[in-house]
Amino acid sequence: SIDNYGSTKLVKNIPLGGINSLLKWSNESNDNLNRLMKKINRVESTYQYSKIRSQILLNISHLIEQSLKQIDEYRFKIENYLFHIISNKNSTILNQTNYIKDKSFIKFPQRPSIPIELFQKTNQFDLNYFINYS
């Protein structure tokens, strides 16, 4: 309390238990605040982690698609090149060409499709499944 002259008087009528309970309440409030801040930070870091993971998966999906397109392009070029070489040879080789065509040496298999489950897991941000999928 403050007297008329502006000097502070010591407060002597607060019991020791009251001060201890105030300190305890203050410590509990600080603990609760610290717990709340940790939860907020955890949520923020989880959100950031999810965003990063999502971007990684999009990048990996894009790289896979680009690689498959490139494989298709190379396969097409090789196939055309082989047909061109074979068609420019004499008739004996043309007979071999028919043999090769029949034996499917030049007929490359179609590009394998990526299973729908993989994309579903990718969309669910399950990075471990995506990486370990075989």
Give residue limits of the domains in the chain: 16-132
Mean model confidence pLDDT for the chain: 67
CB 3 within 8 A of CB 9: yes
Q: How large is the average pLDDT for residues 10-27?
A: 60
- Global pTM reads 0.37
Is the pLDDT confidence value at 114 over 50? yes
CA distance 58 to 122: 8
CB 54 within 8 A of CB 125: yes
